[in-house]
Amino acid sequence: MAAFPELAILRTELSGDALAHLERLAVSWRLLSDLSFSDLLLLAPLAHEDGHRFVVLAQVRPTTGQTLYVHDLVGRIVDEVERPALARSWRHAEVFEGDANILGGKERVRLESIPVRYRGREIAVLAREAPTTSGRRPGELERYYLEVYDRLVSMVAHGSFPFAREEVEIEGAPRVGDGVIVLDADGGMRYASPNAVSSLHRIGIHAYTSGVRLSEIGFDEAAVDTAVRGRLPVLEEVERDEASVLVRVIPLLDAWKPAGALVLLRDVTDLRRRDRMLMSKDATIREIHHRVKNNLQTIASLLRLQGRRVDSREARTALAESERRIRSIAIVHETLSREARESVDFGQIIKQLVRLVEESVSTGDGGLRFEVVGDAGELPGELATPLAVVLNELMQNAVDHAFPHGEDDDAVHGNVEVRLQRRPGVVDVDVVDDGVGLAEGYTLASGQGLGMSIVQALVTGELGGELDVSPGDNGRGTRFHVRIPFATAAATKVVEPS
């Protein structure tokens, strides 16, 4: 089924600001549905048919009552024989009430047809459909809800609802069932629903008398004044004594003049408490990563100091390699300490790893060039850490063996390229150099170095992946290929790139 704008453009004469007005209505009309305990349908006449047939552009079901339509009606064509009130409202620009058969059935329903006006002309029809016999026992709540509904319907017919400012439905915003206070034109309380009274109690307001202003019972009226003066809804949160209540004020207008206000209240105390707990948890996790990173950097610094005090060249090299490995792990924890997420952008990690390896070799006078191609997307920390160590080892391996220094340690020249690719089911990583190439008879099994032993243990053991080596591009240099299956990645919550 086509979306609202596409359906309207394809089947009706609606466009531009008039269509935007109806879209705003479809965003905010749940309020009308809940206040009237009824299903609402938004219909527009088919193009060039003079109101003989209408198309259903949108529908909404009440959360305060039972729906008549469990199936979707959007896109359905309704003619004036099925709903004569629709054609009458469209042609005469008036509200009509009566009975009709339910769409697609024989059950009778109460129907109210309201013309939707925008800038002085009718652009659509709003149909309210409700059972002929209500299961609710009428009382004070029902009476005030329907009274406010009638006021809002008159605003729809006048063109002042929905409001001119484009709105979006805010997740968690108060709804009718959360709590309702009805204010008269002078700001006095006419009615407060039981849920609204409970919300007032939550923030320490226990006095409620019909006719008094909100300020007289200790409730700040700033949001009400702003909404009424600006003739636009206002949403704010009231916090008091560790309790939080979300307040939405909707001005009620009579020919653009303020005639009262509808105040919706939602107790969000428990929700905010959970939010604070989650924020505290995220902050704690980030702090842990930060401390781990600091400790690893301290260890790396100690190894560097120790390396300066030993005379053996082999010992200095071993300490330098250990320092580098620790720093590669610290890079992942540093990234995780900056973000309140369990995953990291591996592109940021690889850039820092390249800089780390570049520090170990002179790049002056040409030197070695490192390049990163492709993207692995976001990876969880438990996967990013071993993969960072693997890449660090493979790049350092290229520095040490693909471009051996001469006897005078002259600057070496060459290229090392890291290729990352995310495909369905696997993450592929290649480290390719254009150096001296593989020694004759070299295999992964024959590699005795500590670095390659670490790489094989991490790739095949911890990551459950595959590792192979082959000649590089055009048979020159060396290519190490790492493949990590998504079966492993899924188990560690790999995030697919968008």
What span, in angstroms and rounded, lies between the C-alpha atoms of 42 and 29?
Answer: 10
CA of 63: how far to CAs of 1, 34, 36, 167, 178, in Å?
24, 6, 10, 20, 11
Question: Where do we find the tokens 């254009």?
Answer: 434
Task: Answer yes or no: is pLDDT of 21 > 70.
Answer: yes
- Condensed to tens digits (0 to 9), the pLDDT of residues 419-457 reads 888 887 788 889 998 888 887 777 777 666 777 888 888
Quote the pLDDT of residue 224: 92
- Condensed to tens digits (0 to 9), the pLDDT of residues 96-109 reads 998 888 988 888 89
Quote the pLDDT of residue 351: 83
Cβ–Cβ contacts within 10 Å for residue 259, how many?
17
CA of 133: how far to CAs of 107, 116, 126, 129, in Å?
11, 27, 21, 12
Task: Answer yes or no: is pLDDT of 493 > 70.
Answer: no
- Identify which of 164-173, 265-274, 410-419 has the greatest average pLDDT: 265-274
Quote the pLDDT of residue 87: 92
Q: What is the pTM of this model?
A: 0.62
DSSP string, 72-109: --TT-EEETTT-HHHHHHHHH---EEEEEEPTTSS-EE
Quote the pLDDT of residue 366: 52
- Condensed to tens digits (0 to 9), the pLDDT of residues 215-259 reads 888 888 899 999 999 999 999 988 887 888 999 999 999 988 999
Confidence of residue 490 (pLDDT cuts 50, 70, 90): very low
CA 65, distance to chain mean position in Å, is 30
Quote the pLDDT of residue 488: 46
More confident residue, 430 or 490: 430
Two tokens, residue 353: 């790893």
SS3 264: strand
More confident residue, 56 or 335: 56
449-457: which pairs have CB atoms within 8 A and are 24 or more residues apart?
449/397, 450/321, 451/321, 451/393, 451/396, 451/397, 452/393, 452/397, 454/325, 454/389, 454/390, 454/393, 455/390, 455/393, 455/394, 455/397, 455/480
Task: Answer yes or no: is pLDDT of 408 > 70.
Answer: no
